[in-house]
Structure formats: C-alpha cells, structure tokens
Amino acid sequence: MAKKLRSLDHHTQVRLIPSYVLVVTWAIFTFVLIGWVFFASFSTSQEIFSDSMFKFESGFHFENYIRAWNTQKVSVYFMNSLMYTVVSCTSIILIASPAAYVLSRFKFRGNLSIQSLLASALGIPAIMIVMPLFSLVSRLRLTNNRWLLIFLYIAMNVPFTTFFLLAFFKSLSTTYEEAAYIDGCSPMGTFWRIMFPLVQPGIITVTVFNFITIWNEYFMSMIFANKPKVRPVSVGLFNMIQAMRYTGDWGGMFASVVIVFLPTFLLYIFLSERIIQGVTAGAIKG
Amino acid sequence: MKKNRTMIIIFLTPAMICYLLVFLYPSIRTTIMSFFAVESVSDPISTWSFNGLENYRTLFNTAIFRQSMRNIASIWLVGGIGVMVTALFFAVSLTNGMKFSKFFRSVIYLPNVVSAIAMGTMWINYVYNSSYGLLHDIFATLGMTTLSETLWTGPDKLFWSMLVAYSFGMVGYHMLIFMASIEQIPKDYMEAAQIEGANVFQRFFHITLPFLRGCFRTNIVMWTVFTVAFFVWGQLFSPVNLSNATVAPMNYMYEIVFGSSASTTTVRDSGAGAAVGVIMMIIVIIAFSATNLIVKNDDVEL
C-alpha cells in the first residue's frame, strides 16, 4: 500500500509538470517585476534607460533614497500614513470588538438585521458614499484635517472588522462568562478582561489586514487630503510620479515606490499566513 | 437583563454610528441626489431642483459615460473570465500535492498587498516600456522585432495593457478563495477517485467543481464589487485627461463632481455623479441577487 501511494505521488508530480511550469513562470515574473523596481531605485536615470542597469557600473546610488525621502517629501507622506494607520487600526479594534461580542452573545431584536447590514457594507462602493461625505465635510470645513481622515479610515473598516470578529467570539465557550459571573465579575469587565484577550489571534489577523488596506487606500484620501502636508503615501506617490515625469528623476521615483511598498511588503513576508487566513475567512462568510 | 441592555447599547453604539454616518446616510442621500439637478456637490439641499430621471438620461446620452460602461463590461467579462480561469487553475494545482505550494501561494497573492499605484508604476515604466521594458527585451531576444517594437501603452493597445496589468494582481485574491473551498472538500473523495483511476480532469469536473458553487458566488460578487470600484488603474494609465480607452464610471464621476484641473471638456454635474453611484450600486445588487438565485436553484436540484 505504501509503495502504491508513493508511486501515485510520483505520478502526481509528473502530471503536475504543466502546473509547475505556469506557477513558476508566474512567480518569476512577480519577482522580476518587484526586483526590477528595487534595482532601478539604486541606479541613475541614464542607466535605467540604457539597459545597463544591472551592472551597477557607477555603484549603488543610495542617494536616490535620500533625495526621495527629503526633497520629494516622502518622509512627510510616510509619517502621515504611519500615524493614520496606527491610530485607525487601534481604534477600529476598540470599536469593533465590543460590537462583535455583543452581537455574537446576546439575543435581541434586530441582532440579525444589524449583522447583515454590517456585512452589506463590503458591497457599498466608495462612489456611493463619497459625495454626501464630501459635502458634509466641506460645510464643517474639515477638509485636509488629519482627524477627519482617521475617522473615515476607522468608520469604513469597522463594519467588516466587526463582521470578521463575530465568528471568533461565537467560537468561544460560554463557560468563561459563567465562571466570571460566579466570581462576581461584571459583564463588561468579563469582556475586557477575559473575552477580549481570548480572541487575540483574530484581532491580529484583522489588524494586519486593516493595516494593509488603510496604508494603500487611495480614493478617499485623494478626495479628502489634497494638501501635501496631510497626504498619505498612496496619494503622495501618485502626485510624485506625475511630477517625476517632468523632472526626469527616475532613480528617485523608483526609490519612492520602494519606500512606499516596503512596509506592507515586509509585513507580508513575516505574516503572510495570517493575511491569507484573513482573506479566506472574511470571504467565505461574505 | 436590564444590565445586559445597557451593555448592548454601550458596546454597539460606536460601531453603529460609524455605519450610519459613513454608509447608510451617504447612500440614502446619494440616491435622493441622483433625482435632482445639483451643480456643485456641496450645494445645500434648498438649491436642489427635482428633475426625475433626467440625470440618468443625460448620462446615457453622454458618449464618454457609455464608453466607460462598455469598458467596465469588458473588464468584468473578459478580465473576469481570465482571472477566474487562472485563479482556479492555480488553486487546483496548488492543492493537488504540488511542492512548495505555500510559498507559491504567498507569491501569487503578493501583488494584493502592494499599493496599486506602485504596481501600476512597475507595469507602465518597466513591463510595457518600449525601449528597455520586459516585453521589449523578451521579444527582442526571440527575434520578434514587430512585437518588440510594439507600443504597449499606445492608444490602440492601452485598454488591453491596462486590463492585463490589473488582472495580474487580482488573480491571487480569487485564487485564495478557491483554495479555501477546495481545502474543505473531504480528502477521501479525491483519494477514492484517484485509486479508482479517475484522471485529473474527471476529478476536477465531477468532484471539485460541484463543491465550488458557493465559492463561485463569492468570487463573482467580489469581482463585481472590485469592477465597479475600478478607478486607480484608469487614472494611472491616463493620468492627465479622461481617455476613451481607460475611463471607468468612477473616473467619469470624479471628473464631473470633483473636476480635475486639467480637464476643460466636462462640466460640473453632481446630480449626474450621484446617478453614476446609484447605477454602480444597482450593478452590485444585481450581481448579488443573480448569483444567490443560481446557488439556491442548484441546492434544490441536489
């Protein structure tokens, strides 16, 4: 039997050759795509154009990064984005997990409707909500306000996060609450001290996911943050690329691209399993 | 019970405020706005004047809007088929005993975590560049001069170049959804079929596909949601003005509501912009209900 299974396995590997060819080609293409930008970011504009980029005849040009970081204001965008994502991701969890807990634990009228409302938010296109928000914000004179941007990032991601965490709370046994009740812990205390720490795996997954979403968010940021001082990286990068076409500083432009994608890229290298879990868990329920 | 009630209210209120303020209220206001003549998006309601379906009529009489609808229809159908077939192929391959499947899975999903702006820049400035780009080099090495000299981002190829670049990044997401469902198929089915001598194709059509019905629904709905939100790639491939090749409804709406400074061809019309939003919402609702029906009908047959 063992022999038969092994020969089956061998057979499978042979039959999978076309799959290997395609998957490996796809993977190489992805690496070449990202690798090229990485190499280009250390080259001079002339080298990029002359096809002799990979030789690095004039050495590695780290000054591309320094130029991008200082003159092209990447530092400003980067720090903005860092602040926006960290504050929003934390607040999202503080708002979404109590809601998810209550929805998963208590029977009350409207519970199911609220759950489907939250799930439906995933299908509401940004184009549907942006106009009233803009008119409200401009009447309140809040455009180009950091806290407004953070509020939008939070509010746009709370429904999905709540929906995502619901399943995690549902899977916890009610004996925790019973024990806590007997020991005289209040329901709210039980939540923060016992239940909240127990869903930590779910919280980490969804936070990594939210981090990537907010870091890369473009449409809303473009509309609500048009002053360079408050721009996040995605909008900053787009404007930089447009400007770079005229200044001709290609090395600096690719350095900016690398700086912008490096945080999510590194996060992905270390946490790809979690991110993948997040995608599949969220999608299956949706 | 009384205590629980206060707790429910306290715990639920912040999340509900987020939803009401950012999703429900704006959706309702956009829908109402789409039936009124509104010039600037920040005009107070008192200046709106009711004009029924006029905004919708204007939209469908505008050539560039019709073009944008044709573009997303092509993206949805052609791109959708391409992405789903590739994603399903990868998902089946990677769950079929391939070595290093976790590594390949991570690499294929990778473009999804990188900012679309960064991905687009790589495609435009590297892959499609006609003097030192990847496609140029590959075709030049193979001696195919006509192909190597093709201007991939020239006006006649722009749409398809954009669609390929966009779809490349989307494959990973849909592949993950397929993989998650395939992994839930009981292993015994596959092993039994394999020992009985069913080949790859028989196993795929008789075991894998029937199990994936619900998963197709998710993928189609999500693909539709992504398609109506198509914006960044259109802007990247035609950064200055709206062009027929790359315009999507959202780009058009942005132009007539928020108006980029470079454009002089379009007039401000926020009522029509709202109508674009409503049309996009309706497309999502149709996709959702249609796929729901298909899955339900299939369940009855089982």
The C-alpha atoms of residue B10 and residue B16 are separated, in whole angstroms, by: 10
| Least confident among A170-174, A282-286, B40-44 | A282-286
Closest approach of A197 to chain B, Cα-based (Å): 16
pLDDT digits (tens, 9 = 90+) for A95-104: 999 999 999 9
Q: In the prediction, which pLDDT does B296 show? A: 65
pLDDT digits (tens, 9 = 90+) for B58-117: 999 999 999 999 999 999 999 999 999 999 999 988 988 788 888 999 999 999 999 999
The pTM for the full model equals: 0.89
Q: In the prediction, which pLDDT does A50 show? A: 67
Q: In the prediction, which pLDDT does A251 show? A: 82
Question: Are residues A79 and A51 both part of a single domain?
Answer: no
Q: Is residue A286 pLDDT above 50, yes or no?
A: no
pLDDT digits (tens, 9 = 90+) for A216-240: 999 999 999 878 899 999 999 998 8
Which helix (H) or strand (E) covers residue B27, if one does?
Answer: helix B25-33
State whether B239 and A242 contact (CB < 8 Å).
yes
Confidence band of B143 (pLDDT split at 50, 70, 90) = confident
Q: At which of A12, A35, A64 does a domain end?
A: A64
Comparing alpha-carbon positions, the chain B residue that sits nearest to A7 is B195
Pairing of strands B49-50, B36-37: antiparallel
Domain that holds residue A91: 73-285
Give all domains of chain B, ordered by start, each with its CATH number.
1-33 (no CATH), 54-301 (1.10.3720.10)
- Neighboring chain A residues of B194 at a CB cutoff of 8 Å: 8
Tell me which of A282 and B180 has the higher pLDDT. Answer: B180
Question: Are residues A45 and A101 both part of a single domain?
Answer: no
The C-alpha atoms of residue B106 and residue A265 are separated, in whole angstroms, by: 11
Q: At which of A64, A92, A118 does a domain end?
A: A64
Whether the Cβ atoms of residue B283 and residue B226 lie closer than 8 Å to each other = no
- Neighboring chain B residues of A218 at a CB cutoff of 8 Å: 115-117, 231-232
Question: Are residues A281 and A209 both part of a single domain?
Answer: yes
Comparing alpha-carbon positions, the chain B residue that sits nearest to A33 is B122
pLDDT digits (tens, 9 = 90+) for B229-267: 999 999 898 877 788 888 999 999 998 888 765 555 567
CATH code assigned at A183: 1.10.3720.10
Question: Are residues A38 and A100 both part of a single domain?
Answer: no
Based on the structure, what is the number of domains in chain A? 2
User: Average pLDDT, whole number, for chain B?
Assistant: 86
Q: Is residue B163 pLDDT above 50, yes or no?
A: yes
User: Average pLDDT, whole number, for chain A?
Assistant: 85
Question: Are residues A196 and A57 both part of a single domain?
Answer: no
Question: Are residues A145 and A105 both part of a single domain?
Answer: yes
Question: Are residues A24 and A92 both part of a single domain?
Answer: no
The C-alpha atoms of residue A106 and residue A177 are separated, in whole angstroms, by: 12
Question: Are residues A124 and A256 both part of a single domain?
Answer: yes
Question: Are residues A83 and A32 both part of a single domain?
Answer: no
Question: Are residues A130 and A255 both part of a single domain?
Answer: yes
Question: Are residues A85 and A210 both part of a single domain?
Answer: yes
Most confident of A38-42, A166-170, B12-16: B12-16
Q: At which of A19, A45, A64 does a domain end?
A: A64
State whether A218 and B134 contact (CB < 8 Å).
no
- Neighboring chain A residues of B126 at a CB cutoff of 8 Å: 33, 36-37, 40
Of residues A283, A281, A279, the one with CA closest to residue A167: A281
The C-alpha atoms of residue B25 and residue A121 are separated, in whole angstroms, by: 12
Q: Is residue B302 pLDDT above 50, yes or no?
A: no
The C-alpha atoms of residue B111 and residue B130 are separated, in whole angstroms, by: 23
State whether B118 and A31 contact (CB < 8 Å).
no
Our CA angle for A207, A129, B24, nearest 5°, is 80
- Neighboring chain A residues of B104 at a CB cutoff of 8 Å: 23-24, 27
Question: Are residues A33 and A141 both part of a single domain?
Answer: no
Tell me which of A71 and B206 has the higher pLDDT. Answer: B206
